[in-house]
Amino acid sequence: MIKVAIYGKGGIGKSTCTANLAAAFATLGKRVIQIGCDPKADSTINLLGGTPVTPVMDYLRTHDDDPDTVEAISETGFGGILCIETGGPTPGLGCAGRGIITTFNLLEQLELFEQHQPDVVLYDVLGDVVCGGFAAPIREGYAEHVLIVTSGEKMALYAANNIRNAVNNFADRSYAKVRGVIMNRRNVEGEEEKVRAFADSAGLEIVADIPRSDDIIRCEDMGKTVIEGAPDCEAAKRFLALAQKLIDEETTSAP
Amino acid sequence: MKNVSRIIPCYAADTAGVCSALYELGGMTVVHDASGCNSTYATHDEPRWVDMQSMIYISALTELDAIMGDDEKFIADVTAAAHDQQPAFITICGSPMPMMTGFDFDAAAAEIEARTGIRTLAMHTNGTRSYVEGASEAFGAIVREYVKDQPKADGIGVNILGATPLDFGISGAVESIRQWLADCGFTMVSCFAMGDSLTDIARAAAARVNLVISASGLAAAQYLKETFGIPYVCGVPVGTFFSGILANALRLAVQKDADLKPCIHRGFRGRKVAVIGDAVYAGSLATALISCDARVICPLPDGGLLPEDTFNSHAAAEEDIEAVLAAWQPEFVLADPLYQAILPAGAKLIPFPHYAFSGRCFDKTIPDWTAAKFDACGIKKQIMNGETL
């Protein structure tokens, strides 16, 4: 099973990259689960035609008891992708990190992986690894690899470095390891050089180079990924190539 | 509001279950919790502290530790204490605050084990579940870690599973159950976990059958069944009638290689009696009350043991317990005395103190109703006569 957590600075395009990567895996015949770990709960919206799934936190807020089935807190989107959103508390209140842990505990209780038997699980995680809750997706049993999304913008690279350091802090534990960088271009000056300099200094590979693309924006306006809405565009090809790369690596490393 | 107790107390928490299950086994149990809470786990929920030492520690988690996620402090403190104390094993378990901050007990246990070289077990308690879940996890971890295959003991060897003061107090009941097994001709192998050491219980695979005396022992019994093929029988030998059934069930389980649950009672005709408590103990009492129309109300997790039917109800919330009692309208209720306040009008309480529920309030009167002692206590006769006790 391929299990990847996607991290990166807020607004850098994590959800766009995650949803497109999920759609690419599905197009390549894989059974995929995408779990949005962000109180905004918009990670999977472009896999669902623009209609959001009920977040787990919203379900728990309105019901006395935990759901009995995964179906109560999920929707099936493009390519049969199972879409789940943790959601979170009312902005400014509560503890979003705790919401992620609660969701993961619930999914374990519902035996999500055993029941659904996915080939690929993608976790789309809010911003930096700010607290224990936001590190939950990289714990043993969850993601095995971390992909960091960044552009060549200074603050995006700063956040990328923080994420890498945070993950490295858990080097003594059986947590996920940083697999590489997704360069999500914003067309800033010297972008490739800047991202490459960061990746080299961190000893990381740039696993995908996603061009700035009007196709992505156009498809998102329709509630779609480019894999679904513009499968022949360059961005779609890059996501498909990344998915194939990760599949090939998994196949090679399998015992 | 669901699951809020307005009148009755809540049962001891999962953390207390871990501490109680492991109390006598020579390990070091560290609860990750704020300082000052040690007494809850090691004295209020634990009667053995008076005359028996055990390595139960609290990490003294501070507000700043919680905010900063200072795992290293916890890991270093446990490591230092382990170097000083040299326990047989280490167990770390949680409370509400680490639950909120998402402390990773599995990862911390692995780090502590790597630093100390001492086997370290992570328990997934959070202080919000019942002692049954904590004790079950602890017993389950111990059997997985320490019980290895070995030759069978002579005769019909038996392990007692699920013995903690939380269910039996220090009334002598567990010792009486041991004696009852011996009197019935069984060979005692080990008791999880009162009166035996880690070395004793590591021999558990020498048994031919397990006697599960509380729901806390069920997970360990299921593991021993799956791993070593040892069948189990659920029941507490209360009264001569039910004790006889239980002894036969132990022999039959060995002969047929079958798990038997004689504590699931099917009711008799007679006066209406509700029995509230642990699934195994309450079920055994209900079955022992021959000539009574008894119903078990189990407010605790039962590991799937009791069916939900005419004779058994799962009701964890105070309002649900009240509803079952109101609908059933029993003449007698065999329960901890603190249930008195929510009994329907006219129902008479028969005291059945439960340490996990009322702590030391009634600890001197926690009964030992093993075999003939239950017949001798006069409860059945008084119920038959409709007398107030």
Q: Which of A101, A132, A173 sits opposite B110 (nearest CB)?
A: A173
In chain A, what percentage of residues exceed pLDDT 90? 75
CA distances from A137 to A5, A105, A167, A178, B271 (A): 7, 11, 11, 13, 56
Superfamily holding B14-129: Nitrogenase molybdenum iron protein domain (3.40.50.1980)
Give the pLDDT mean for A60-83.
92
A174 with B110: Cβ contact below 8 A: yes
Terminal CA-to-CA distance of chain A, rounded, Å? Answer: 12
Task: Answer positive or negative: Cα dihedral of A20, A25, A26, A32.
Answer: negative
Local confidence band at A44 (pLDDT 50, 70, 90 cut-offs): very high
Question: How buried is residue B154: exposed, middle or buried, by Cβ count under 10 Å (0-12/13-18/19+)?
Answer: exposed
- Give the mutation candidate from B2, B3, B4, B104 for the A interface (greatest A CB count, under 10 A): B104
Report the topology of domain B271-384: Rossmann fold (3.40.50)
pLDDT of B156 reads: 95
pLDDT of B36 reads: 67
CATH code where residue A75 lies: 3.40.50.300
How many independent structural domains does chain A possess?
1
Name the token pair of A26. 């599905």
Domain ranges (residues) in chain B = 14-129, 148-256, 271-384
pLDDT of A255 reads: 64
Residue whose structure tokens are 């149990």: B29
Nearest residue on chain A to B97, judged by CA atoms? Answer: A98
| The two domains B14-129 and B148-256 share their CATH topology (first three levels equal) | yes
**Contacting residues of A for B2, CB less than 8 Å apart:** 64
With CA atoms as reference, report the closest residue to A142 among A164, A118, A119, A121.
A121
pLDDT of A129 reads: 65
Residue whose structure tokens are 């669902």: A48
Give the pLDDT mean for A203-224.
95
What are B211's strand-pairing partners? B160, B233
pLDDT of A109 reads: 92
**Contacting residues of A for B102, CB less than 8 Å apart:** 97-98, 101, 131-133, 135-136
Least confident of A56-65, A86-95, B204-213, B233-242: A86-95
Q: Which of B100, B102, B107 sits opposite A173 (nearest CB)?
A: B107
| Distance separating alpha carbons of residues B205 and B143, to the nearest angstrom | 9
With CA atoms as reference, report the closest residue to A19 among A82, A104, A108.
A82
pLDDT of B2 reads: 67
- Domain span at residue A21? 2-253
Question: Contact A37/A126 with Cβ under 8 angstroms?
Answer: yes
A 131-170 residues inside an 8 A Cβ radius of B: 131-133, 135-136, 139-140, 170
**Contacting residues of B for A133, CB less than 8 Å apart:** 102
pLDDT at position A183 over 70: yes
CA distances from B276 to A217, B130, B273, B357 (A): 62, 15, 10, 11
Residue whose structure tokens are 């370290």: B120
**Average pLDDT of each block of 10 consecutive residues along chain B (389 residues)?**
82 95 96 79 85 91 82 94 96 92 92 96 94 97 96 94 96 95 96 94 96 97 97 96 95 95 82 94 92 90 86 87 92 95 93 95 92 84 71
A174 with B104: Cβ contact below 8 A: no
Number of residues that make up chain B: 389
- Give the mutation candidate from A60, A62, A65, A101 for the B interface (greatest B CB count, under 10 A): A101
Q: A60-64, A113-117, B371-375 — which one is most confidently predicted on average?
A: A113-117
Indicate the CATH number for domain B148-256: 3.40.50.1980
